[in-house]
Amino acid sequence: SGNGSGNGQGATVEGTHDNNFAVIVSTSMYWHNYRHASNALVFYHSVRRLGIPDENIILMLADDHACNERNKEAGTIFLDNSHKHCNYDENISVDYRGTEVTAETFIRVMTGRVKHSVSESRRLRTNSKSNIFLYMTGTMYHQDPPLFYSRLNCYFLLLLLFQGHGGEDFLKFRDTDVISGTELADTFLQMHHKGRYNRLMFVLDTCHAESMFFRITAPNIVALGSSQAHEDSVGMSVSKKLGVVTVDEFTAASHHFLRALIPSSTKTLHDLFLFARRSRMHSHPALFSSSHNFTAANALLVDFLSSSPKETIVSRFSDNENSEMLQQV
Protein backbone atom coordinates (compact mmCIF):
# COMPACT_ATOMS: atom_id res chain seq x y z
CA SER A 1 0.00 0.00 0.00
CA GLY A 2 1.39 3.43 -0.84
CA ASN A 3 0.47 7.10 -0.83
CA GLY A 4 3.57 8.94 -2.03
CA SER A 5 4.32 10.52 1.33
CA GLY A 6 7.52 8.83 2.46
CA ASN A 7 10.42 10.76 3.93
CA GLY A 8 13.37 9.09 2.19
CA GLN A 9 16.56 11.15 1.98
CA GLY A 10 18.38 10.71 -1.31
CA ALA A 11 22.05 10.02 -1.85
CA THR A 12 21.40 10.21 -5.57
CA VAL A 13 20.83 13.44 -7.50
CA GLU A 14 20.28 16.36 -5.14
CA GLY A 15 16.63 17.34 -4.93
CA THR A 16 15.23 14.39 -6.89
CA HIS A 17 14.40 11.91 -4.11
CA ASP A 18 12.01 12.53 -1.24
CA ASN A 19 10.09 9.29 -0.61
CA ASN A 20 10.73 5.55 -0.43
CA PHE A 21 8.51 2.61 -1.32
CA ALA A 22 8.96 -1.16 -1.20
CA VAL A 23 7.34 -3.94 -3.23
CA ILE A 24 7.93 -7.42 -1.80
CA VAL A 25 6.69 -10.47 -3.69
CA SER A 26 6.63 -14.21 -3.07
CA THR A 27 5.26 -15.82 -6.24
CA SER A 28 5.10 -19.43 -4.95
CA MET A 29 2.22 -21.70 -4.04
CA TYR A 30 2.35 -25.17 -2.41
CA TRP A 31 3.48 -26.17 1.06
CA HIS A 32 6.96 -27.25 -0.02
CA ASN A 33 7.65 -23.63 -1.07
CA TYR A 34 7.23 -22.40 2.53
CA ARG A 35 10.70 -20.86 2.33
CA HIS A 36 9.64 -18.30 -0.26
CA ALA A 37 7.05 -16.75 2.03
CA SER A 38 9.72 -16.72 4.73
CA ASN A 39 12.17 -15.07 2.31
CA ALA A 40 9.70 -12.31 1.49
CA LEU A 41 8.91 -11.67 5.15
CA VAL A 42 12.61 -11.26 5.95
CA PHE A 43 12.73 -8.24 3.64
CA TYR A 44 9.30 -7.02 4.74
CA HIS A 45 10.45 -6.87 8.36
CA SER A 46 13.76 -5.27 7.31
CA VAL A 47 12.10 -2.30 5.61
CA ARG A 48 9.54 -1.97 8.40
CA ARG A 49 12.27 -1.95 11.05
CA LEU A 50 14.17 0.71 9.11
CA GLY A 51 11.15 2.99 9.06
CA ILE A 52 9.19 2.53 5.85
CA PRO A 53 5.51 2.63 6.88
CA ASP A 54 3.07 -0.03 5.75
CA GLU A 55 1.25 2.46 3.54
CA ASN A 56 4.46 2.64 1.47
CA ILE A 57 4.83 -1.14 1.18
CA ILE A 58 3.13 -3.55 -1.20
CA LEU A 59 3.35 -7.12 0.11
CA MET A 60 2.30 -10.00 -2.17
CA LEU A 61 2.16 -13.58 -0.85
CA ALA A 62 0.97 -16.13 -3.40
CA ASP A 63 0.03 -18.73 -0.80
CA ASP A 64 -1.06 -18.67 2.85
CA HIS A 65 1.59 -20.93 4.35
CA ALA A 66 0.86 -19.69 7.87
CA CYS A 67 -2.64 -21.18 7.74
CA ASN A 68 -1.86 -24.24 5.63
CA GLU A 69 -3.43 -27.38 7.11
CA ARG A 70 0.01 -29.03 7.04
CA ASN A 71 1.49 -26.31 9.25
CA LYS A 72 1.94 -27.89 12.69
CA GLU A 73 2.72 -24.42 14.04
CA ALA A 74 -0.50 -22.81 12.82
CA GLY A 75 -0.40 -19.07 12.19
CA THR A 76 3.38 -18.92 11.99
CA ILE A 77 6.16 -18.79 9.44
CA PHE A 78 9.62 -19.40 10.89
CA LEU A 79 12.96 -18.20 9.59
CA ASP A 80 14.98 -21.19 10.78
CA ASN A 81 14.62 -24.73 12.08
CA SER A 82 14.96 -23.63 15.71
CA HIS A 83 11.44 -22.13 15.42
CA LYS A 84 12.60 -19.19 17.55
CA HIS A 85 12.29 -16.44 14.95
CA CYS A 86 8.71 -16.12 13.70
CA ASN A 87 8.34 -13.91 10.63
CA TYR A 88 4.54 -13.91 10.66
CA ASP A 89 2.52 -11.97 13.20
CA GLU A 90 -0.58 -9.82 13.60
CA ASN A 91 1.31 -6.70 12.51
CA ILE A 92 1.83 -7.91 8.94
CA SER A 93 -0.27 -6.23 6.28
CA VAL A 94 -0.65 -8.42 3.16
CA ASP A 95 -1.93 -6.40 0.19
CA TYR A 96 -2.31 -9.25 -2.33
CA ARG A 97 -2.61 -12.91 -1.41
CA GLY A 98 -3.30 -16.26 -2.99
CA THR A 99 -4.85 -16.20 -6.47
CA GLU A 100 -4.61 -12.40 -6.56
CA VAL A 101 -0.84 -12.73 -7.02
CA THR A 102 -0.39 -13.01 -10.78
CA ALA A 103 2.06 -11.60 -13.30
CA GLU A 104 -0.68 -9.31 -14.59
CA THR A 105 -1.45 -7.99 -11.11
CA PHE A 106 2.23 -7.37 -10.44
CA ILE A 107 2.69 -5.48 -13.71
CA ARG A 108 -0.46 -3.41 -13.11
CA VAL A 109 0.65 -2.47 -9.60
CA MET A 110 4.14 -1.48 -10.72
CA THR A 111 2.94 0.58 -13.69
CA GLY A 112 -0.05 2.12 -11.89
CA ARG A 113 -2.58 0.60 -14.30
CA VAL A 114 -4.77 -0.95 -11.62
CA LYS A 115 -8.54 -1.14 -11.93
CA HIS A 116 -10.64 1.68 -10.47
CA SER A 117 -12.05 -0.74 -7.90
CA VAL A 118 -8.61 -1.26 -6.31
CA SER A 119 -8.40 0.58 -3.00
CA GLU A 120 -5.82 3.30 -2.41
CA SER A 121 -4.05 1.13 0.16
CA ARG A 122 -3.27 -1.47 -2.52
CA ARG A 123 -1.83 0.95 -5.04
CA LEU A 124 1.83 1.83 -5.50
CA ARG A 125 1.46 5.61 -5.43
CA THR A 126 4.97 6.57 -6.46
CA ASN A 127 6.23 9.50 -8.50
CA SER A 128 9.42 10.76 -10.13
CA LYS A 129 10.89 11.50 -6.68
CA SER A 130 10.33 7.97 -5.35
CA ASN A 131 13.06 5.44 -4.70
CA ILE A 132 11.62 1.94 -5.02
CA PHE A 133 12.97 -1.25 -3.45
CA LEU A 134 11.71 -4.38 -5.22
CA TYR A 135 12.29 -7.86 -3.80
CA MET A 136 11.02 -10.99 -5.53
CA THR A 137 11.37 -14.69 -4.76
CA GLY A 138 9.78 -17.62 -6.57
CA THR A 139 9.64 -21.24 -7.56
CA MET A 140 9.84 -23.51 -10.58
CA TYR A 141 8.16 -26.78 -9.71
CA HIS A 142 4.90 -28.12 -11.14
CA GLN A 143 4.63 -30.69 -8.36
CA ASP A 144 6.36 -31.72 -5.16
CA PRO A 145 10.06 -31.89 -6.08
CA PRO A 146 12.27 -34.90 -5.28
CA LEU A 147 14.43 -33.09 -2.80
CA PHE A 148 15.30 -35.16 0.23
CA TYR A 149 18.00 -37.63 0.97
CA SER A 150 17.55 -38.94 4.50
CA ARG A 151 18.71 -41.67 6.80
CA LEU A 152 15.50 -43.05 8.20
CA ASN A 153 16.97 -44.24 11.50
CA CYS A 154 18.98 -41.11 12.24
CA TYR A 155 18.30 -37.49 13.01
CA PHE A 156 20.37 -36.59 9.99
CA LEU A 157 18.95 -34.97 6.91
CA LEU A 158 21.05 -33.91 3.99
CA LEU A 159 19.23 -31.48 1.76
CA LEU A 160 20.13 -29.11 -0.99
CA LEU A 161 16.90 -27.67 -2.28
CA PHE A 162 17.26 -26.09 -5.69
CA GLN A 163 14.64 -23.44 -6.22
CA GLY A 164 13.72 -20.72 -8.61
CA HIS A 165 12.18 -20.35 -12.02
CA GLY A 166 13.69 -23.44 -13.62
CA GLY A 167 14.75 -21.82 -16.87
CA GLU A 168 16.51 -18.68 -17.85
CA ASP A 169 14.64 -15.45 -18.47
CA PHE A 170 11.34 -16.10 -16.69
CA LEU A 171 9.86 -16.19 -13.19
CA LYS A 172 6.82 -18.28 -12.34
CA PHE A 173 3.71 -16.99 -10.55
CA ARG A 174 1.67 -19.58 -8.64
CA ASP A 175 2.63 -22.45 -10.97
CA THR A 176 0.11 -21.16 -13.54
CA ASP A 177 1.66 -17.99 -14.91
CA VAL A 178 5.06 -16.49 -15.70
CA ILE A 179 6.67 -13.13 -16.25
CA SER A 180 9.49 -13.13 -18.78
CA GLY A 181 12.63 -11.06 -18.64
CA THR A 182 11.29 -9.05 -21.57
CA GLU A 183 8.00 -8.35 -19.76
CA LEU A 184 9.83 -7.33 -16.60
CA ALA A 185 12.14 -5.03 -18.56
CA ASP A 186 9.11 -3.52 -20.32
CA THR A 187 7.45 -2.96 -16.93
CA PHE A 188 10.44 -0.97 -15.74
CA LEU A 189 10.52 0.99 -19.00
CA GLN A 190 6.84 1.89 -18.65
CA MET A 191 7.52 3.03 -15.09
CA HIS A 192 10.35 5.24 -16.32
CA HIS A 193 8.27 6.80 -19.09
CA LYS A 194 5.41 7.46 -16.65
CA GLY A 195 7.72 9.06 -14.06
CA ARG A 196 7.01 6.43 -11.42
CA TYR A 197 10.49 6.27 -9.87
CA ASN A 198 13.70 8.19 -9.30
CA ARG A 199 15.89 5.12 -8.77
CA LEU A 200 15.00 1.46 -8.34
CA MET A 201 16.83 -1.29 -6.45
CA PHE A 202 15.86 -4.83 -7.45
CA VAL A 203 16.80 -7.92 -5.41
CA LEU A 204 15.84 -11.34 -6.78
CA ASP A 205 16.22 -14.69 -4.98
CA THR A 206 15.55 -17.49 -7.47
CA CYS A 207 17.35 -19.86 -9.83
CA HIS A 208 19.11 -18.20 -12.78
CA ALA A 209 18.34 -14.82 -11.22
CA GLU A 210 20.91 -12.92 -13.28
CA SER A 211 19.10 -13.89 -16.50
CA MET A 212 16.18 -11.66 -15.53
CA PHE A 213 18.43 -8.59 -15.67
CA PHE A 214 19.81 -8.87 -19.21
CA ARG A 215 16.93 -7.12 -21.00
CA ILE A 216 16.57 -4.18 -18.60
CA THR A 217 17.14 -0.88 -20.41
CA ALA A 218 15.26 1.60 -18.21
CA PRO A 219 17.73 3.97 -16.52
CA ASN A 220 18.68 4.18 -12.86
CA ILE A 221 18.10 0.53 -11.95
CA VAL A 222 20.53 -1.52 -9.94
CA ALA A 223 19.98 -5.21 -9.22
CA LEU A 224 21.34 -8.07 -7.13
CA GLY A 225 20.49 -11.69 -7.88
CA SER A 226 21.04 -14.76 -5.74
CA SER A 227 22.49 -16.74 -8.65
CA GLN A 228 24.21 -16.31 -11.97
CA ALA A 229 22.32 -16.98 -15.20
CA HIS A 230 23.38 -20.63 -15.45
CA GLU A 231 22.97 -21.50 -11.75
CA ASP A 232 20.33 -22.84 -9.41
CA SER A 233 19.78 -21.22 -6.02
CA VAL A 234 19.81 -23.34 -2.89
CA GLY A 235 17.65 -23.63 0.21
CA MET A 236 18.86 -24.22 3.76
CA SER A 237 17.62 -24.71 7.32
CA VAL A 238 15.39 -27.79 7.31
CA SER A 239 12.58 -28.03 9.84
CA LYS A 240 12.01 -31.69 10.66
CA LYS A 241 8.80 -30.78 12.44
CA LEU A 242 7.33 -29.00 9.44
CA GLY A 243 9.02 -31.10 6.77
CA VAL A 244 10.12 -28.07 4.75
CA VAL A 245 13.06 -25.77 4.18
CA THR A 246 12.46 -22.51 6.02
CA VAL A 247 14.68 -20.07 4.10
CA ASP A 248 17.02 -19.82 1.10
CA GLU A 249 20.77 -19.36 1.44
CA PHE A 250 20.88 -15.91 -0.14
CA THR A 251 18.03 -14.47 1.91
CA ALA A 252 19.45 -16.02 5.09
CA ALA A 253 22.76 -14.23 4.42
CA SER A 254 20.87 -11.02 3.59
CA HIS A 255 18.96 -11.25 6.86
CA HIS A 256 22.18 -11.52 8.84
CA PHE A 257 23.54 -8.46 7.05
CA LEU A 258 20.42 -6.28 7.04
CA ARG A 259 19.45 -6.73 10.68
CA ALA A 260 22.59 -4.78 11.62
CA LEU A 261 21.74 -1.78 9.45
CA ILE A 262 20.75 1.53 11.01
CA PRO A 263 19.32 4.50 9.06
CA SER A 264 22.64 6.34 9.08
CA SER A 265 24.50 3.36 7.59
CA THR A 266 26.75 3.88 4.58
CA LYS A 267 26.57 0.24 3.49
CA THR A 268 25.84 -0.23 -0.20
CA LEU A 269 24.30 -2.94 -2.35
CA HIS A 270 27.84 -3.92 -3.25
CA ASP A 271 28.57 -4.52 0.43
CA LEU A 272 25.58 -6.86 0.62
CA PHE A 273 26.82 -8.62 -2.52
CA LEU A 274 30.26 -9.15 -0.97
CA PHE A 275 28.76 -10.38 2.29
CA ALA A 276 26.54 -12.89 0.49
CA ARG A 277 29.46 -14.08 -1.63
CA ARG A 278 31.49 -14.75 1.52
CA SER A 279 28.64 -16.68 3.12
CA ARG A 280 29.50 -20.07 1.60
CA MET A 281 26.48 -20.09 -0.68
CA HIS A 282 26.31 -22.79 -3.32
CA SER A 283 25.31 -20.22 -5.95
CA HIS A 284 27.19 -17.06 -6.87
CA PRO A 285 25.41 -13.71 -6.47
CA ALA A 286 25.28 -11.42 -9.50
CA LEU A 287 25.10 -7.65 -9.88
CA PHE A 288 23.58 -5.48 -12.61
CA SER A 289 23.30 -1.77 -13.29
CA SER A 290 21.47 -0.07 -16.16
CA SER A 291 23.25 3.29 -15.72
CA HIS A 292 26.95 4.07 -15.49
CA ASN A 293 26.50 6.69 -12.76
CA PHE A 294 24.31 4.47 -10.56
CA THR A 295 25.88 1.17 -9.55
CA ALA A 296 25.92 -1.21 -6.61
CA ALA A 297 28.98 0.60 -5.30
CA ASN A 298 27.14 3.90 -4.79
CA ALA A 299 23.63 2.57 -4.11
CA LEU A 300 23.19 3.13 -0.39
CA LEU A 301 20.88 0.48 1.06
CA VAL A 302 19.21 2.94 3.42
CA ASP A 303 18.27 5.16 0.48
CA PHE A 304 15.85 2.39 -0.46
CA LEU A 305 15.15 0.35 2.67
CA SER A 306 14.83 3.20 5.18
CA SER A 307 12.25 5.94 5.51
CA SER A 308 14.56 8.58 6.90
CA PRO A 309 17.73 8.70 9.03
CA LYS A 310 15.85 11.02 11.38
CA GLU A 311 13.21 8.45 12.20
CA THR A 312 13.36 6.59 15.51
CA ILE A 313 13.86 2.94 14.64
CA VAL A 314 12.67 0.19 16.95
CA SER A 315 15.14 -2.69 16.79
CA ARG A 316 14.31 -6.30 17.62
CA PHE A 317 17.81 -6.65 19.04
CA SER A 318 19.59 -5.16 22.03
CA ASP A 319 22.20 -2.42 21.64
CA ASN A 320 24.95 -4.95 22.37
CA GLU A 321 23.62 -7.35 19.75
CA ASN A 322 23.38 -4.56 17.17
CA SER A 323 26.94 -3.48 17.95
CA GLU A 324 28.22 -7.04 17.55
CA MET A 325 26.37 -7.47 14.25
CA LEU A 326 27.70 -4.20 12.87
CA GLN A 327 31.23 -5.35 13.64
CA GLN A 328 30.54 -8.62 11.82
CA VAL A 329 29.13 -6.79 8.81
Count of CA atoms in the C-beta half-sphere (13 A) of 310:
5
H helix and E strand count, the chain: 7, 14
Nearest Cα residue to 36 out of 68, 59, 63: 63
Residue type for 3, please? N
C-alpha span between 131 and 263 (Å, rounded): 15
Q: Do residues 152 and 119 touch, judged by C-beta distance below 8 A?
A: no
Our measurement of the distance from residue 193's CA atom to the centroid of its chain's CA atoms, rounded to an integer in Å, reads 24
Other CB atoms within a 10 A radius of the CB of residue 127 amount to 15
Q: Which portions of the chain are predicted below pLDDT 70?
A: 1-15, 139-167, 308-329
pTM metric for this prediction: 0.82
Nearest Cα residue to 191 out of 217, 159, 226, 156: 217
So what's the pLDDT on residue 69?
Answer: 81
Other CB atoms within a 10 A radius of the CB of residue 264 amount to 10
So what's the pLDDT on residue 111?
Answer: 98
So what's the pLDDT on residue 8?
Answer: 35
So what's the pLDDT on residue 220?
Answer: 98
SS3 173: strand
Q: Which residues are catalytic?
A: 165, 207
So what's the pLDDT on residue 146?
Answer: 39
C-alpha span between 121 and 68 (Å, rounded): 26
